[in-house]
Amino acid sequence: MQTKFYFFSGKGGVGKTSMAASSAVYFASQDKKTLIITTDPASNLADVFEQKIGHKITLINGAANLFAMELNPDVATAEYKERTLSPLRDLIPVESFKVLEEQLNSPCTAEMAAFDRFTDFLQKPEYDVVIFDTAPTGHTLRLLELPVEWSGVIEKAAKEEGGGQTCIGPAAALAESKAKFDRAIAAMRDTSRTTFIFVLRPEVTPIYEAERSIAELLKLKITSQELIINGIYPQSACDNPFMLARFAKQQKFLELIKNKFTVPITLMELEPNEIKGKNLLLQIGRKLHTQAKKLSNYEPLTIEAKRGKLATNDFPKIDKKIRPMLIPQNAKRRTIFFAGKGGVGKTSVAAATALWTAEQGYKTLLLTTDPASHLSQIFEQDVSGQPTLINGENNLWAARIDAEKATEEYKEKILAEARKKYDKQRVLAIEEELNSPCTEEMATFEKFIDFATRKDFEVLVFDTAPTGHTLRLLELPVDWSKQIEIKTFTSTGETEVDKITKSRFKEVIDMMQDINQTTFSFVMYPESTPIEEAARAMEELLTIGVPTSLVVANFILPESIITNNYLKQRKAMEKKYLAEMDRRFTAPAVQLPLLVDDLIGKEKLKEAGYMLYGK
Amino acid sequence: MKTKIIIYDPPMCCSTGVCGPNPDQTLINLQETIEKVRTLGVDVERYLITQSPQKFKENSAVIKLIQEQQLKTLPITTCDGKIVKTGSYPTFEEFEKFINEK
């Protein structure tokens, strides 16, 4: 029998790991030798299995055929570096060797290393089932896109259309890797061997994301796809107007999803407790694979729910200390970053904050770097690459960094220069070389630097992409500055252009490190994965000298709606994690309650702004 | 046997010259030169020290030079295994000269 692969994707905190882990336990209980791997640095796989796992294949306690591994990107990168450079270790002088190691700290290496491991795991004949509890959507898709892109690059480079050079080495040396990438793609495209499962909650934004993800995979000719809708409220738990209104909304979304998608869809209820421990996992796994309802056989309910009003004590107290952190100090622009896992409400909080600063009289630009951002939907107007005034406002502009468009512009800029200097043949070769995955990152990064150095706004609010991507983007000024410095150790030397670039990067680095100019904030809801990821990201940002100054706890259950045992259990879990947040983050925290409606439209966003920061 | 020229590149992210914050003119020009040199019927290969360290190891003269002069000696150009230029990339005229003098 050939190995079966399951890929779980979806925004962070939708229960991806629970679904993946319970599937793993279920398959193992069916006498299948099963391996579950997470590539998500914020994974709580160890929590779920209640044992230490780490960066190695580990037997799950008490099981005979269930194994798990938490792929640590830092360790994978270190291993990759060691493997690459070991032939020279004792041959060349220590000083030179250090420069080589430093060079391999370049942004490309981490990606290459992660990718290398990923394709390795796609050929594990010793397992019957391999489950990838993957990193969040954007990153996952990018990783999956890589085999296709690299393979193409290598093929062309081998024919020497690009002078035999590729971003990842001379074509000849890569022939072996190409075979590996091709096998990886073939396995992912084989519907009898691979299933992609997208996990989402019955809410409006994840639907767009699921749609995008399905389309992206189809573009890569990956057709075996399924959806799990997780976190559906049990009807019995909705015995008050607030919960009934939320239940009615979920049912409406189910109807919407039913009409929108043709792939198989499984429905899973929100569990009152955390899913951990093998017994509960097996129970959930059985539910998922044998008992759960399929949306195709389910008629979503139509309920006319009366709108409950929240009580005054449902709103958190306003902390006056927060205000100065949102507005300019010493006549310098204030830059506010909102980061966190996908699905924590970053975009809504960023938009509410931008509306708030605009209303306080500051000329504000709200900028999203998230390719999956729904800024246009929540403002109900088009948001493009250029700052656009928000309808009915006179202080608030919005813009988005569109990676695809930025890449086109970036390529065109380089090619326009090239056309002036070179013949057609050479320009074609350069164009070919520019079709590497690095180009998109470089192009997005250039746009980020452009916006980050703008002087024509008083407040700049960044709605950032899910954490991994954002950290990379923010670290790039530091990383590239170092790469330029490496030139001084070689005969190439720094050019005048390099010096200008470095000074631009330095401006951005200085700005990000200064708490009087920059407020770095993490948005999360009080559950394990979002907290873990934010805490990790906070540590990583500190290594480039960027402190975290604000924490936003979102979707807090209002006290007045806790009317039954199910909700009591949920509230108890929430309290435990709020305490955990308090312990892990020293920055001041603000809270936003769970609301009946999604934050769509300016009025609701303004309300949210008042709940966070006061009038 | 066909003449073989090998260029041993210094550490950098990518030898095409179009990656990274500033496109590198020297490297883009070099690619053009190499294509011209190939039309003379010789093999030209390039190895980046951080991507193909094994290739560096295979040429003891190259390693010896790095031991003596550190990385500043890169790029090194060899013609049929013999070092013909260090510290910078050859011009087209120089390539021609290496091939003819062999």
pLDDT at A593: 92
Beta bridge partners of residue A337, listed in sequence order: A462, A520
Contact check, Cβ <8 Å, A95/B87: no
Residues 6+ positions from A40 with CB-CB distance below 8 Å: A12, A17, A133, A134, A135, A136
Residues of chain A with CATH 3.40.50.300: 4-297, 323-400+458-613
Average pLDDT over residues A445-468: 86
**A483 closest CB neighbour out of B13, B31, B57:** B13
b/e per residue A348-386 (b: at least 16 CB within 10 A): bbbbbbbbbbbbbebbbbbbbbbbbbbbebbbeeebeee
A484 close to B (CB below 8 A)? yes
Res A287: pLDDT? 96
Nearest to A169 among B19, B22, B48 (CB): B48
Render pLDDT for A500-522 as a digit per residue (tens, 0 to 9).
Answer: 888 888 888 899 999 999 999 99
**C-beta atoms of A434 and B71 within 8 A:** no
Would you state the pLDDT for residue A208?
79
The overall average pLDDT reported for chain A is 84
CB B67, CB A92: distance < 8 Å: yes
Subunit contact A438:B34, Cβ cutoff 8 A: no
The answer to whether A562 faces chain B, any CB pair under 8 Å, is: no
Across A48-57, A214-223, A382-391, B81-90, least confident range: A214-223
| Contact status, residue A11 vs residue A342, Cβ threshold 8 Å | yes
Q: Which residues of chain A neighbour B26 with C-beta distances below 8 Å?
A: 492
B95 three-state secondary structure: helix
B98: CB partners within 8 A, 6+ apart: B5, B77, B79, B84, B85, B90
Tell me the ipTM for this assembly: 0.85
- Read off the tokens for A396: 């608030």
Per DSSP, the three-state class of A244 is: helix
Question: Which range is most confident: A338-342, A434-438, A485-489?
Answer: A338-342
- The pTM (predicted TM-score) of the whole model is 0.79
- CATH 3.40.50.300 for domain A4-297: yes
B12 at A interface, C-beta within 8 A: yes
pLDDT above 90: residue A312: no
Structure tokens, A2: 């050939």
- What number is the average pLDDT over the span A430-448? 75
Which of residues 13 through 52 in chain B touch A, CB cutoff 8 A?
A: 13-23, 26, 28, 31-32, 34-35, 45-52
Nearest to B42 by CA among B1, B75, B11, B8: B1
Contact state of B50 with A104 under an 8 Å Cβ cutoff = yes
**Could you report the per-residue pLDDT of A512-552, keeping only the tens digit for each?**
999 999 999 999 989 887 888 889 889 988 988 999 999 99
- Band of the pLDDT at A392, cuts 50, 70, 90? very high
* pLDDT bracket for residue A172 (50, 70, 90): very low
Question: Tokens 């002069």 correspond to what residue?
Answer: B69
| Chain B environment of A95 (Cβ under 8 Å) | 70
Distance from CA of A333 to the nearest CA of B (A): 25
The size of the A-B interface in CB pairs under 8 A is 140
Nearest to A292 by CA among A228, A238, A224, A237: A228
Q: Which residues pair with A389 in a beta bridge?
A: A397
Give pLDDT, residue A491: 65
pLDDT over 50 at A170, yes or no:
no
**Placement of tokens 């898709």 in the chain:** A141
Give the CATH fold of the A323-400+458-613 domain: Rossmann fold (3.40.50)
Q: In the prediction, which pLDDT does A139 show?
A: 46
Contact A414, A406 (CB under 8 A): no
Report pLDDT for A372. Answer: 66
User: How many whole angstroms separate alpha carbon A410 and alpha carbon A401?
Assistant: 13
